[in-house]
């Protein structure tokens, strides 16, 4: 939002008049959001005026000069750091705002972050999903998605997209699903197709979804799994698991906490024969049955 407010000011300084519709199109937000931003700028003491009529529009006082002393040095640094972080994770439009603000504030900010999401950024389809879903979230538009379920059937769902989240090396769309009448995480790689709609919804604040969100933790009950990992896979255990203790034979006893059991079973198989589920017994039994079924498929 800070980036958008500065861009509005720059656009108003460059043009004599500009309409809310033009600002909306340039910044890819609704006109309602533009008017809210203009209210924020006015409250901050920036003389924004709106003139009605055919030749009217939004303007600034002709002698207005943006005063960088309104912000402290620490605040300026935090703005530049935040824009750098956004640009690093793929918000390319933040790059221009970053360059302008660096020049305006004086000097360059420390180049402190570099991110490579090569797992998804090299996939054109995933990049398209990310960009289109971002637009749908910002403009509060429903989208239809074809989502691959556990039985490989792609089911069409009408959803209210609310937030894009990154966790565990994957992107997720957090949305309200009209089919289930509940909030869901949809993994982008399991979305087989989408359709943007013109139907809009009232914006809502979903708050923090990752990390220490207690409400989400209550909703998605965790299962704690105890594993024995052979020393050949110790490097993965230290990177991906916790509660690690070393056994006499140099194997490791580790803890894995999961909320998605389908993902869990697939994940455990990636260790091959180098990991064994110790507890709970029902997960151990599920793994055993899955392995027997795999063996059966390869029997002549």
CA distance 265 to 16: 61
Residue with tokens 């299962």: 223
- CATH no. for 223-297: 3.30.70.240
The pLDDT of residue 234: 92
Q: Please give the Cα distance from 147 to 135 (Å, whole number).
A: 19
Q: What angle do CA 165, 222, 212 make, to 5 degrees?
A: 50
Residue 184 has a CB neighbour count (10 Å cut-off) of 15
Give the span between the Cα atoms of 115 and 212, in whole angstroms: 23
- Per CATH, 2-105 and 121-209 having the same topology is answered no
Running along the chain, 300 residues long, what does each successive block of 10 average in pLDDT? Answer: 73 78 85 85 76 73 59 66 62 58 58 59 72 89 88 82 82 91 89 93 80 51 91 91 93 90 85 94 93 88
C-alpha dihedral (134, 135, 139, 143), degrees to nearest 10 = -80
Predicted local confidence at residue 5, as pLDDT: 78
CB atoms under 10 Å from CB of 153, counted, come to 9
Q: Are 142 and 158 spatial neighbours (Cβ–Cβ below 8 Å)?
A: yes
Query: What's the pLDDT score for residue 107?
Result: 55
Q: What's residue 214's pLDDT?
A: 43
Q: So what CATH class is 2-105? A: mainly alpha
Tell me the domain boundaries of the chain.
2-105, 121-209, 223-297
* Angstrom distances, CA of residue 162 to CA of 16, 87, 107: 36, 21, 37
Domain 121-209, CATH number (from 2.60.40, 3.40.50, 2.30.29, 2.30.30) = 2.30.30
Predicted confidence at residue 61, as pLDDT, reads: 72
pLDDT of residue 166: 80
pTM metric for this prediction: 0.51
- 286 vs 291: CA distance, rounded Å: 9
Residue with tokens 């020393």: 231
> Residue 101, Cβ neighbours under 10 Å: how many?
21
| Cα–chain center distance at 2 | 18
């Amino acid at each position: 939002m800070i980036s958008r407010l500065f861009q509005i000011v720059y656009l108003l300084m460059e043009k004599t008049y500009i309409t809310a519709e033009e600002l909306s199109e340039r910044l890819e937000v609704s006109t309602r959001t533009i008017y809210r931003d203009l209210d924020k700028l006015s409250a901050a003491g920036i003389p924004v005026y709106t003139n009605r009529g055919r030749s009217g529009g939004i303007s600034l006082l002709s002698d207005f000069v943006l005063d960088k002393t309104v912000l402290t040095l620490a605040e300026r640094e935090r703005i530049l750091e935040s824009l750098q972080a956004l640009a690093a994770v793929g918000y390319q439009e933040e790059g221009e705002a970053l360059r302008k603000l660096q020049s305006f504030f004086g000097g360059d900010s420390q180049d402190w972050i570099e991110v490579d999401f090569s797992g998804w950024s090299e996939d054109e389809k995933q990049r398209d999903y990310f960009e289109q879903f971002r637009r749908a979230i910002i403009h509060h538009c429903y989208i239809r998605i074809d989502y691959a379920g556990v039985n490989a059937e792609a089911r069409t769902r009408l959803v209210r997209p609310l937030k894009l989240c990154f966790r565990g090396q994957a992107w997720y769309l957090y949305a309200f699903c009209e089919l289930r009448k509940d909030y869901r995480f949809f993994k982008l790689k399991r979305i087989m197709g989408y359709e943007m709609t013109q139907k809009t919804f009232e914006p809502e604040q979903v708050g923090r979804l990752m990390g220490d969100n207690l409400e989400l933790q209550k909703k998605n009950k965790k299962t704690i799994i105890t594993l024995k990992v052979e020393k050949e896979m110790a490097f993965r255990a230290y990177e991906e698991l916790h509660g690690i203790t070393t056994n006499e034979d140099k194997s490791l006893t580790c803890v894995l906490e999961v909320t998605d059991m389908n993902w869990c079973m697939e994940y455990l198989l990636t260790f091959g024969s180098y990991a064994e589920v110790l507890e709970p017994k029902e997960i151990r039994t599920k793994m055993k049955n899955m392995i027997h079924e795999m063996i059966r498929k390869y029997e002549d």
